[in-house]
């Protein structure tokens, strides 16, 4: 798909989301929040659902959690405009309650279609609701900071899924902020792995091979070397080496291009 085709697919999904009545969340929303960012990106960030600020503005992650997300991106030299940011549910659950299973199910086709249009190499999941879609059955305390091939049912069968805590969690639990920034250091290295995996053409078979291995070791690559850190007893996190942290600074996002983008018509 060319970038223009991706954009037009995203615009069409956004228009449908704006007038969607598939679940009860439409009754209390001010604006639906389809998501935003680059149509050519290699990396999609998926949160839980809009909060009060997002509901008012129609844009994802624009409140305090959004400020932290922007800082996290900046810590590896990336910007919001270079990635795509969206949510599992596109309308605000009233009172910021958790989204319910039927609401997530009703909204799931929108995220699947966004992922199909974007075809990201890497999906970064923010929080447990997003993680559950790409890595079902995992526990965030065990897998944050690691990646594994995304569950094909997620709608991103050729992507790696990197798990992070939700930025809003760090607003309530200060020590998670350090964890978030440390985990973020490993995201560019995960992107390198995702690119390599795609270039080697082995994305689909690897999932089966890797998934057969137990625990956090099921993930691969430098970002997935699990080692214990201070914190809750069951918490296991990769520790980015200083080398990978330094390398992280220099991994630039490159827009995905289709060869036909370069064609000139005579
Ligand atoms: N939290 C989310 O999960 N998504 C947003 O867009 C904002 C806050």
pLDDT at 254: 86
Query: Is residue 263 in a domain?
Result: no
Report the nearest-CA residue for atom 7 of ligand 1. Answer: 61
Residue 213's CB: how many other CB atoms inside 10 A?
12
Quote the pTM value: 0.83
Query: Is residue 74 in a domain?
Result: yes
Q: Is the pLDDT of residue 52 over 90?
A: yes
Query: Is residue 265 in a domain?
Result: no
For the chain, the average pLDDT equals 84
168 in ligand 1 pocket by Cβ < 6 Å?
A: yes
Query: Is residue 102 in a domain?
Result: yes
Best residue for ligand 1 mutational test, from 25, 35, 48 (most atoms within 8 Å of Cβ): 48
pLDDT at 215: 33
Backbone φ, ψ for residue 183 (5° rounding): -65, -40
130 in ligand 1 pocket by Cβ < 6 Å?
A: no
Average pLDDT over residues 30-41: 98
Query: Is residue 266 in a domain?
Result: no
Confidence of residue 229 (pLDDT cuts 50, 70, 90): very low
What CATH number has the domain bearing residue 69?
3.40.470.10
- Containing structural domain, residue 253: 3-258
Instruction: Tell me whether strands 84-87 and 43-47 are parallel, antiparallel or unpaired.
Output: parallel
pLDDT digits (tens, 9 = 90+) for 136-158: 999 999 999 999 999 999 999 99
Residue % of the chain over a pLDDT of 70: 78
Average pLDDT over residues 49-53: 98
Query: Is residue 192 in a domain?
Result: yes
pLDDT digits (tens, 9 = 90+) for 162-190: 999 999 999 999 999 999 999 999 999 99
50 in ligand 1 pocket by Cβ < 6 Å?
A: yes
Residue 69 CA, ligand 1 centroid: distance in Å: 10
Cβ density class 5-19: b for 16+ within 10 Å, e for less: ebeebbeebbebbee
Distance between CA 17 and CA 260 in Å, rounded? 29
pLDDT at 210: 36
Domain count along the chain: 1
Q: Is the pLDDT of residue 3 over 80?
A: yes
pLDDT at 257: 75
């Amino acid at each position: 798909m060319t970038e223009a085709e991706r954009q037009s697919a995203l615009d069409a999904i956004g228009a449908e989301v704006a007038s969607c009545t598939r679940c009860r969340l439409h009754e209390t929303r001010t604006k639906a929040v389809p998501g935003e960012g680059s149509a050519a990106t290699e990396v999609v960030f998926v949160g839980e659902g809009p909060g009060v600020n997002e509901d008012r503005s129609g844009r994802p992650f624009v409140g305090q959690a959004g400020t932290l997300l922007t800082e996290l991106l900046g810590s590896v030299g990336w910007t919001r405009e270079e990635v795509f940011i969206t949510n599992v549910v596109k309308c605000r659950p009233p009172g910021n309650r958790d989204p319910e299973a039927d609401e997530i199910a009703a909204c799931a086709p929108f995220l699947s279609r966004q992922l199909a249009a974007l075809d990201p190499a890497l999906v970064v999941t923010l929080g447990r609701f997003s993680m559950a879609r790409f890595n079902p059955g995992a526990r965030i305390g065990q897998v944050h900071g690691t990646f594994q091939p995304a569950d094909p049912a997620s709608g991103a069968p050729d992507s790696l899924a990197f798990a992070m805590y939700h930025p809003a969690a760090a607003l309530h639990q200060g020590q998670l902020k350090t964890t978030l920034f440390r985990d973020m250091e490993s995201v560019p290295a995960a992107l390198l792995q995702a690119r390599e995996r795609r270039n080697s053409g082995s994305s689909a078979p690897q999932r089966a091979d890797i998934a057969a291995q137990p625990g956090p070791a099921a993930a691969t690559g430098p970002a997935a070397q699990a080692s214990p850190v201070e914190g809750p007893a069951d918490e296991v996190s990769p520790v980015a080496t200083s080398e990978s942290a330094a390398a992280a600074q220099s991994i630039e996002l490159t827009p995905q291009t289709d060869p036909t983008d370069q064609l000139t018509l005579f």
